[in-house]
């Protein structure tokens, strides 16, 4: 099965790869849409810095992220598995996966992106920053822009392999599997001990990253391996192929709390 993940807001800096070759990224059918978003993002960030930060929702302290966007097409690259950092991706720990687990990650992880649509861990990416809620000039809402291209690019793969969906709500809106593909998709909902959805909390991100990591270490992702991973990291799990709820104990995943 595939594992569907969101990206991270922050990205690792630097890299030693050549500038991004958009056509060489996974799912070349997405190239035209990727280039359209990239052009709009670069133009926005090469313009008035204050207006660019406002459009991207960045503070002045994060102007380095605006500057990275301005140099998007000429800056060095590194594999997406190393570029994405932050709570979820740090918990996943792609760079530290054992060799066999990393091969499984390369084959099964699909990371969604408002800029690139969908990526594999091996895709060579520059540093960038754009939230899924960003509206660029003449682009409109990113989930709406991406929905049709991603359906065309991913639906057959998802229908054939199935998927464990660990995306957050904004990135779920980018790609909604067709009825033919959706029967093989297991939506994972993360809740706190009170049963309420822990949508974008720190603990939810930690749980998603650790669940993905444990599945990949154990073997190819499956519902049974998801259940085993939940037990291993100390969280409760219930559900079946129609959907799964992972319940986090109070304080789970927080610094200084055993979990």
Per-residue confidence (pLDDT) for residue 200, from 0 to 100: 56
Residue 150 included in any domain: yes
In the three-class reduction of DSSP (H, G, I as helix; E, B as strand; rest coil), residue 169 is classed as helix
What is the H or E stretch that residue 46 is in?
helix 31-46
Residue 255 included in any domain: no
Q: Given its phi and psi angles, is residue 140 left (phi above 0), alpha (psi -120 to 50 degrees) or beta?
A: left
Whether the model pTM is above 0.85: yes
Residues 104 and 219 sit within 8 Å (Cβ to Cβ) = yes
Confidence of residue 177 (pLDDT cuts 50, 70, 90): very high
Helix intervals (H) in 57-172: 63-70, 80-83, 87-92, 99-108, 142-161, 169-172
- Poorest-pLDDT segment among 99-103, 113-117, 248-252: 248-252
Confidence of residue 10 (pLDDT cuts 50, 70, 90): confident
Residue 254 included in any domain: no
Residue 258 included in any domain: no
Residue 161 included in any domain: yes
121-170: pLDDT as tens digits:
999 999 999 999 999 999 999 999 999 999 999 999 999 999 999 999 89
In the predicted structure, residue 1 carries a pLDDT above the cut 70: yes
Backbone angles phi, psi at 243, to 5 degrees: 155, 150
Residue 71 included in any domain: yes
Strand partners, 191: 197, 247
How many helices and strands in the chain, by DSSP H and E? 11, 11
Domain count, the chain: 1
Residue 252 included in any domain: no
Q: Do strands 236-240 and 185-191 pair parallel, antiparallel, or not at all (unpaired)?
A: unpaired
Residues 89 and 96 sit within 8 Å (Cβ to Cβ) = no
* Domain region containing 15: 2-247
64-113: pLDDT as tens digits:
999 999 999 999 999 999 999 999 999 999 999 999 999 999 999 999 99
Q: Name the DSSP letter for residue 249.
A: P
Per-residue confidence (pLDDT) for residue 256, from 0 to 100: 44
Residue 145 included in any domain: yes
Residues 221 and 164 sit within 8 Å (Cβ to Cβ) = yes
22-64: pLDDT as tens digits:
999 999 999 999 999 999 999 999 999 999 999 999 999 999 9
First to last CA, the chain: 27
Cα–Cα separations (whole angstroms), residue 249 to 1, 101, 194: 27, 27, 9
The Cα–Cα gap between 253 and 220 comes to 25
Cα–Cα separations (whole angstroms), residue 53 to 34, 36, 44, 137, 169: 21, 20, 9, 14, 24
Q: What is the 3-state secondary structure (H, E, C) of 18-35?
A: CCCCHHHCCCHHHHHHHH
């Amino acid at each position: 099965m595939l594992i569907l993940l969101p990206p991270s807001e922050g990205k690792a800096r630097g890299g030693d790869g050549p500038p991004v070759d958009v056509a060489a990224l996974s799912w070349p059918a997405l190239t035209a849409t990727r280039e359209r978003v990239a052009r709009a993002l670069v133009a926005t960030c090469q313009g008035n810095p204050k207006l660019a930060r406002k459009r991207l929702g960045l503070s002045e302290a994060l102007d380095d992220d605006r500057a990275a966007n301005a140099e998007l097409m000429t800056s060095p690259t590194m594999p997406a598995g190393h570029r994405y950092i932050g709570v979820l991706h740090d918990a996943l720990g792609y760079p530290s996966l054992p060799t066999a687990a990393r091969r499984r990650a390369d084959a099964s992880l699909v990371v969604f992106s408002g800029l690139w649509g969908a990526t594999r861990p091996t895709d060579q990416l520059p540093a960038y920053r754009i939230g899924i809620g960003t509206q660029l000039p003449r682009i409109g809402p990113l989930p709406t822009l991406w929905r049709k291209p991603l359906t065309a690019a991913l639906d057959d793969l998802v229908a054939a392999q199935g998927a464990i969906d660990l995306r957050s709500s904004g990135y779920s809106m980018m790609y909604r599997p067709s009825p033919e593909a959706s029967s093989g998709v297991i939506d994972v909902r993360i809740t706190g001990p009170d049963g309420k959805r822990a949508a974008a909390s720190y603990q939810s991100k930690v749980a998603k990253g650790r669940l993905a990591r444990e599945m990949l270490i154990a073997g190819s992702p499956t519902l049974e391996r998801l259940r085993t991973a939940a037990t291993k990291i100390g969280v409760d799990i219930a559900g079946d192929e129609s959907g799964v709820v992972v319940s986090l104990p109070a304080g789970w995943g927080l610094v200084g709390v055993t979990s």
